[in-house]
């Protein structure tokens, strides 16, 4: 849902604060509310007095672009308002002119908060013999481009496949540079796919994790991501049962959806700073989920899943864009009634970031669930490279840890029959 340049943000904010969310949404879409707004404007003083006397609204207000939020309108911060809560995140650039920001404003962009546009070093070219190429996929749900990384040592043998889903405003190239997953692929020998979310699908290039229609098997964006995965499995000799998906923020939420809707396709998932499948069903519930956690679906049979998919989660406890409780909810949704043994350990990365790691193992001692709580880290990929956006280089290397976790697991089936 893109906000038009001439949208009356002051009126939308006023209506939201009054609890008139339906009218506020109409204004955000560029329309007129169901009441006479000019008459309402004449009574602004009365409205302000009533708002001051009324109890706090349960509706979430939006925070305008600022030094703290970057170029997107975002959910209001929760918890301690000190800058220390975000000291782990990459420093954002100063905002440009407010009106220029409004022209780029969209609600989905604000739902993620990823809008880092600082100048960054150019990503290193792939090593000689490696391929990082653009590809295209189309099915009944639409079309998406994606980039595929084939490591230089590839000789045509079956390899694992890792699908990486970027966050808002990011691109496959940016996400590859930030996560450095291609470097890990060179060392561990696997393929990496980076589906791209276009601005035509979301003005801030966010995966639409909060739309009910994009949380179902064989529908919307899940069908496109699964279709890209299946196309690669058709074009390359992918090792049977060794296909994985991970993502950051909106991409992390999308990865959780893929694990729920396609447990026969993905052997394990990685969710970094994301949310559980079904945590939101629309824009208002998405703001609520980001602020204080959502209400993820208790069961996934109606979504096409219902099977246990091993999951690794990373989340900074200083994240003021997506509440860290969402990481707990991803683990809880995945575990369900499964009995696992739990071990908790503490450590510190070479860069100085401390973490708490919780491992839940099955009867054979294999790690089925892992949760990394990154102390003092904000909304950023842990251990990432400075050439990409939204990274915390001082943290433990999330990419390497995800791959280590992924390669322990495989599905029993090769894949899923894609739509043509």
**Domain residues of the chain, as ranges?**
9-112, 131-406
Question: Under a CB-based contact definition with an 8 Å cutoff, are residues 147 and 185 in contact?
Answer: no
Compute the distance between CA of residue 412 and CA of residue 420 in angstroms, rounded to an integer: 24
- pLDDT reported for residue 209: 96
DSSP for residue 7 = -
- For residue 335, the model assigns a pLDDT of 80
Is the CB of residue 349 less than 8 Å from the CB of residue 373?
no
Q: pLDDT tens string for the chain (420 positions)? A: 333 344 455 566 566 666 676 676 665 555 665 544 444 444 444 443 443 443 332 223 334 333 343 334 344 444 443 333 333 444 333 333 332 332 333 333 344 443 344 456 666 788 999 999 999 999 999 999 999 999 999 999 999 999 999 999 999 999 999 999 999 999 999 999 999 999 999 999 999 999 999 999 999 999 999 999 999 999 999 999 999 999 999 999 999 999 999 999 999 999 999 999 999 999 899 989 999 998 776 544 334 445 789 999 999 999 999 999 999 999 998 886 678 999 999 999 999 999 999 999 998 899 999 999 999 999 999 999 999 999 999 999 999 999 999 999 998 654 444 433
Considering only the C-alpha atoms of the chain, give the largest distance between any 2 of them, rounded to a whole number of Å. 74
pLDDT of residue 124: 76
Kindly state the helix (H) or strand (E) to which residue 270 belongs, with its residue range: strand 268-272
What is the pLDDT at residue 388?
Answer: 94
Q: Is 394 exposed, middle or buried (0-12, 13-18, 19+ CB in 10 A)?
A: middle
Q: What share of the chain is helix, strand, coil (3-state, %, to 5)?
A: 30, 20, 50
Q: Supply the DSSP symbol for 173.
A: H
By CB atoms closer than 10 A (0-12, 13-18, 19+), residue 55 is exposed
**Fold of the domain built from segment(s) 131-406:** Rossmann fold (3.40.50)
Q: Which residues of 121-141 are buried (b: 16+ CB within 10 A; e: fewer)?
A: eebeebeeebebeeeebebeb
Integer Cα distance of 359 and 401 in angstroms: 13
The strand pairing partners of 317, in sequence order, are none
Q: What is the CA radius of gyration of the chain?
A: 21
**CA dist., res. 13 & res. 28, Å (int):** 9
Question: DSSP per residue over 50-112, as a string?
Answer: HHHHSPPPSSPPPBPSBTTTBTS-BPPP-S--SGGGGTTSPPPPPP--HHHHHTT-BHHHHHH
Q: What is the pLDDT of residue 12?
A: 60
Across the strands, what pairs with 131? 150
């Amino acid at each position: 849902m893109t906000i038009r340049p001439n949208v009356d943000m002051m009126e939308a904010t006023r209506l939201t604060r009054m609890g008139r969310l339906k009218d506020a949404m109409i204004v955000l879409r560029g329309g007129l509310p169901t009441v006479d707004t000019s008459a309402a404007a004449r009574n602004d003083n009365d409205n302000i007095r009533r708002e001051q006397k009324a109890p706090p609204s349960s509706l979430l207000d939006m925070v305008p672009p600022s030094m703290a939020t970057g170029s997107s309108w975002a959910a209001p911060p929760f918890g301690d308002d000190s800058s220390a809560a975000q000291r782990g995140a990459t420093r954002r650039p100063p905002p440009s002119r407010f009106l220029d920001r409004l022209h780029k404003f969209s609600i989905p962009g604000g739902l993620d908060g990823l809008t880092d546009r600082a100048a960054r070093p150019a990503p290193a070219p792939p090593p000689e013999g490696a391929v990082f190429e653009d590809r295209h996929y189309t099915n009944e749900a639409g079309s998406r481009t994606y980039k595929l990384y084939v490591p230089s040592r590839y000789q045509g043998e079956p390899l694992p496949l890792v699908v990486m889903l970027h966050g808002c405003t990011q691109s496959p190239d940016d996400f590859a540079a930030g996560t450095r997953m291609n470097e890990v692929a060179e060392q561990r020998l696997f393929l990496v796919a980076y589906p791209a979310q276009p601005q035509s699908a979301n003005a801030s290039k966010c995966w639409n994790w909060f739309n009910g229609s994009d949380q179902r098997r064989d529908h919307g964006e899940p069908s496109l991501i699964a279709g890209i995965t299946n196309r690669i499995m058709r074009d390359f000799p992918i090792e049977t049962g060794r296909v994985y998906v991970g993502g950051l923020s909106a991409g992390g939420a999308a990865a959780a959806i893929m694990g729920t809707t396609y447990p026969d396709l993905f052997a394990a998932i990685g969710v970094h700073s994301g949310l559980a499948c079904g945590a939101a069903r629309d824009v208002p519930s998405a703001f609520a989920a980001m602020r204080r956690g959502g209400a993820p679906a208790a069961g996934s049979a109606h979504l096409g899943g219902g099977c246990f998919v091993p999951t690794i989660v990373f989340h900074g406890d200083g994240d003021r864009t997506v509440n860290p409780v969402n990481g707990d909810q991803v683990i809880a949704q995945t575990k369900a009634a499964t009995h696992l043994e739990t071990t908790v350990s503490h450590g510190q990365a070479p860069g100085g970031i401390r973490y708490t790691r919780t491992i839940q193992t099955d009867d054979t001692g294999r790690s089925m669930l892992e949760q990394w709580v990154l102390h003092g880290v904000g909304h950023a990929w842990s251990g990432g490279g400075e050439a990409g956006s939204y990274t915390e280089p001082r943290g433990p290397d999330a990419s390497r840890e995800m791959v280590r976790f992924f390669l322990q697991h495989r599905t029993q089936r090769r894949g899923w029959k894609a739509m043509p």
